[in-house]
Amino acid sequence: MEFNREQQQAMEHKDGPMLVLAGPGSGKTEVIIRRTRKLIQDYQVAPSSILVVTFTKAAAGQMRERFLHLCGVEKSQVTFGTFHGIFYGILRQAYGITSANIAGEEIKYQILRQILQNSSLQTEDENDLLESLAREISTVKNGRIPLSHYYSASCPDEQFRKIYETYEKRLHGKRLLDFDDLLVYCYQLFQKHPDILQAWQKKFRYILIDEFQDVNQLQYDIVRLLALPENNLFLVGDDDQSIYRFRGARPEIMLQIPKDFPQLKQVILKQNYRCTGEIVEKSQNVIRWNDARYEKQLFTGNNKGKPIEIRNFENESEETTWLLKQIQKDLAEGCSHKEIAILFRTNHNCRMTVERLMEYNIPFTMRDVLPNLYEHWLAKNMVAYMHLAMGSRERKDFLAVMNRPNRYLSREAFYEKEVPFEILYQFYEGKEWMCDRIEKFEHDLKMMKNMAPFAAINYIRYGIGYDEFLKEYAQYRKIKVEELYDLLREIQESAKGYKTFQEWFDSMDAYKEKLKEQSEKVRQQEGIVVSTLHSAKGLEFPNVFIVGMEDGVFPGYASIWSGDPSDIEEERRLCYVGITRAMKELTLTCAKQRMIRGETQYNRVSRFVREVPRELVDLGHTIQEKKPRVDDIVSPKSAYAQMKMNFQAKTSLQKKDFTVTKAAKLDYGVGDTVRHVKFGVGIVKNIVEGGRDYEVTVDFDKVGVKKMFAGFAKLKKI
């Protein structure tokens, strides 16, 4: 095997610190393996004094197997492992800890759940809060952040600090350590016991770290101690591929390495062996817009290849239909399923594509779990309201929504499995103000009884005041209420077209069952890879589609509006990773309008597309091309198509024409105050009598001036 000059320079390095900036497809793993062999065979370094660190057990195992195969041996004293695995071994020798002392995720969440049950912290989604708290506890530990200086994003700061302290007390009271403690205790061990540190420094004289851009502060601090005094550190990574800041990774550590190690030598692995010339040039034109990075100009010896395709569609449906037709074409021309990848910014963005893949009977495998919208607590709240409107008086339905919005109802009032309203009136007898609230609750349920699901959710949100509850909840939990509104809009949108609550419930059950069936299938089949960009890191495919290239989707609005340049830079690095997954062909798709969590958004083409000179891309057709018919693509014999047909026949969900009957006279006039079920209270500014219906102009307090037909608006004079 021939190696380029930079690879050889890295492999031949012996003593002192070295930073290897390894671009995508530059052969960094091979460099690490061959440098390890060279230390042993050419420089007579004892294998037992070499430590190779990776971030996953799988990566450590693969690297070890490749090393053994290269050296032609069955075993070696070279240590391959993860940060946590290595530090566990150190603590085991120092303190005698065993695997029985390590609290897995299940125990960690069990302790946190017990703490929450005994706290005053309110939550609507316990699992979501538990995940958030666990993540923040890890952040505090791995970032070595003083608890008094940490400001929680999950709950009020004082409550978080109490939860953290209680968690630590209970964990250690059981003589347990969590995975983050393996790092914390190891650092403390080295700080308190210089003799132990010195012993490990003598053992591991040469340290090689892969994917160094993903280290957190605590990992870096321990490695610096361990490498002293010789500092034989061989750090391999790419600052342009640092995409795990949300997990605690600190890409800025790579930028400060030259300051921490003045004797540092640097090598840039510039040659990309994976991608075509077009893809490499495109990727470089994107990433160069980042400021906080090492400047590097990569190249490839591969042919130029096809230009990058950019496809701009009117809407998501057209985008998905074209995508699936293109994939079918690629498959017909001899491309195998496993050579194709469809990449998304988040797993929420891929819902329509996944449903269409099922419908078209195209095998696929998912690297991420597709979230089930109907399992979210917001959906469960809507269902609970509808159950009550249908006549249910089950305690669990009442408990789900009794104080959403706050009616100041006590759980003690719901002491039976079945709770008729008469029991509530009896419980609050003599408290007129509470009886009024119960009466309003009962009235609202009667109003909802004969509504279609979409209208019922609208009434719950604006007529009952559920949106106000969400606003208060978001303020308390210190989360963005817009995210909750977005999810609720998506749930509401999914209810469109169904005439009864039961029809909507049946569709939920059908979707859950189909999702379950598909999850079982993808474990057993080879197919097109559907993945988030994060999960695709480290992989490569001949043909890659990146879907949803619009500002607001990728990069997301949260990054655009944060005001922190590092947020956009993180997104751009993620785009860079996505582009460089493609070996031969890359297509970027975007839509002028996209339904995002129930709301139609009109977004610009992503800045990551606009940053590339036009001469480097093939713009294709901008949607003036003939739209493909679904019937031309979908196999009517597919399992999903059959299920869909059967379900539609069962529930009679076919679209029907409808007419609006013009009222003989409106019961309100110009200047009157009216209420709209969605927009709230407003003043009538103008009424124009048309042939079909009255056109009414209303100035609403919350949303401003709106024009609407009276028959649709159903305005109520107040």
Q: What is the pLDDT of residue 129?
A: 84
Does pLDDT of 629 surpass 80? Answer: no
Q: What is the pLDDT of residue 223?
A: 96
Q: What is the pLDDT of residue 662?
A: 60
Q: What is the pLDDT of residue 667?
A: 85
Most confident listed range (153-162, 333-342, 607-616): 333-342
357 close to 351: Cβ distance less than 8 angstroms: no
Is this prediction's pTM over 0.75? no
Q: What is the pLDDT of residue 572?
A: 96
Tokens at 42, concatenated = 């050419």
Tokens at 187, concatenated = 């650092």
Cα gap 715→718, rounded to integer Å = 9
Does pLDDT of 422 surpass 60? Answer: yes
Do you find a cis peptide bond into 371, omega within 30 degrees of 0?
no
- Residue of higher predicted confidence among 239 and 708: 239
The mean per-residue pLDDT over the stretch 248-270 comes to 94
Cα gap 314→316, rounded to integer Å = 7
Instruction: Identify the CA nearest to 668 among candidates 713, 608, 627.
Output: 713
Confidence grade of residue 630 (pLDDT, cut at 50, 70, 90):
very low
pLDDT in tens, 437-456: 999 999 999 999 999 999 99
Q: What is the pLDDT of residue 441?
A: 95
Most confident listed range (112-126, 395-409, 517-531, 677-691): 395-409
147 close to 141: Cβ distance less than 8 angstroms: no
Q: What is the pLDDT of residue 703?
A: 66
Does pLDDT of 10 surpass 90? Answer: yes
Cα gap 274→555, rounded to integer Å = 25
Do you find a cis peptide bond into 555, omega within 30 degrees of 0?
yes
Query: Please, what sign has the CA dihedral across residues 348, 350, 352, 356?
Result: negative
Half-sphere exposure of 569 (CA within 13 A, CB side): 17
Does pLDDT of 475 surpass 50? Answer: yes
Lowest mean pLDDT among 73-82, 227-236, 471-480: 471-480
- Residue of higher predicted confidence among 478 and 506: 506
Cα gap 393→419, rounded to integer Å = 5
Confidence grade of residue 651 (pLDDT, cut at 50, 70, 90):
very low
Q: How far from 705 is each of 600, 637, 700, CA to CA, in Å?
A: 20, 50, 6
Q: What is the pLDDT of residue 597?
A: 56
The mean per-residue pLDDT over the stretch 51-74 comes to 93
548 close to 353: Cβ distance less than 8 angstroms: no
The angle formed by the CA atoms of residues 369, 373 and 378, to the nearest 5 degrees, is 135
Strands, E, within 316-471: which ranges?
340-344, 364-366
Cα gap 588→311, rounded to integer Å = 6
Q: What is the pLDDT of residue 364?
A: 87
The mean per-residue pLDDT over the stretch 372-398 comes to 92
Query: Please, what sign has the CA dihedral across residues 316, 320, 326, 327?
Result: positive
Lowest mean pLDDT among 385-389, 555-559, 656-660: 656-660
Strands 694-700 and 18-22: unpaired
536 close to 577: Cβ distance less than 8 angstroms: yes
Lowest mean pLDDT among 124-133, 140-149, 150-159, 570-579: 124-133
Q: How far from 579 is each of 16, 207, 323, 527, 557, CA to CA, in Å?
A: 34, 31, 17, 21, 21
Strands 673-676 and 680-689: antiparallel
pLDDT in tens, 279-303: 999 999 999 999 999 999 999 999 9
Does pLDDT of 547 surpass 70? Answer: yes
Cα gap 653→499, rounded to integer Å = 8
Q: Can you list the pairs that 54-58 forms with residues at least 24 positions away whose Cβ atoms lie under 8 Å?
A: 54/80, 54/81, 54/82, 54/210, 54/211, 55/82, 55/83, 55/210, 55/211, 55/214, 56/82, 57/82, 57/85
Q: Helix, strand or coil for residue 268?
A: strand
Lowest mean pLDDT among 423-427, 554-558, 587-591, 659-663: 659-663
Lowest mean pLDDT among 178-187, 579-588, 668-677: 668-677
Q: How far from 183 is each of 135, 152, 488, 628, CA to CA, in Å?
A: 15, 22, 40, 56
Q: What is the pLDDT of residue 518?
A: 63
Q: What is the pLDDT of residue 648?
A: 45
Confidence grade of residue 524 (pLDDT, cut at 50, 70, 90):
low
Cα gap 599→585, rounded to integer Å = 32
The mean per-residue pLDDT over the stretch 508-533 comes to 76
User: First CA to last CA across the chain, in angstroms?
Assistant: 84
Confidence grade of residue 649 (pLDDT, cut at 50, 70, 90):
very low
Does pLDDT of 604 surpass 80? Answer: yes
Number of H helices, E strands in the chain: 28, 19
Dump the DSSP string for 586-603.
EEEEEEEEEEETTEEEE-
Do you find a cis peptide bond into 405, omega within 30 degrees of 0?
yes
Q: What is the pLDDT of residue 586?
A: 96
152 close to 173: Cβ distance less than 8 angstroms: no
| Percent with pLDDT over 90 in the chain | 61
**Residue in the block written with tokens 């080295």:** 190
The mean per-residue pLDDT over the stretch 528-556 comes to 93
Radius of gyration, alpha carbons of the chain: 30
- Residue of higher predicted confidence among 321 and 695: 321
- Residue of higher predicted confidence among 352 and 641: 352
Please give the DSSP secondary-structure letter assigned to residue 571: H
Instruction: Report the chain's mean pLDDT, rounded to a whole number.
Output: 87
Distance of CA 85 to the CA centre of its chain: 27
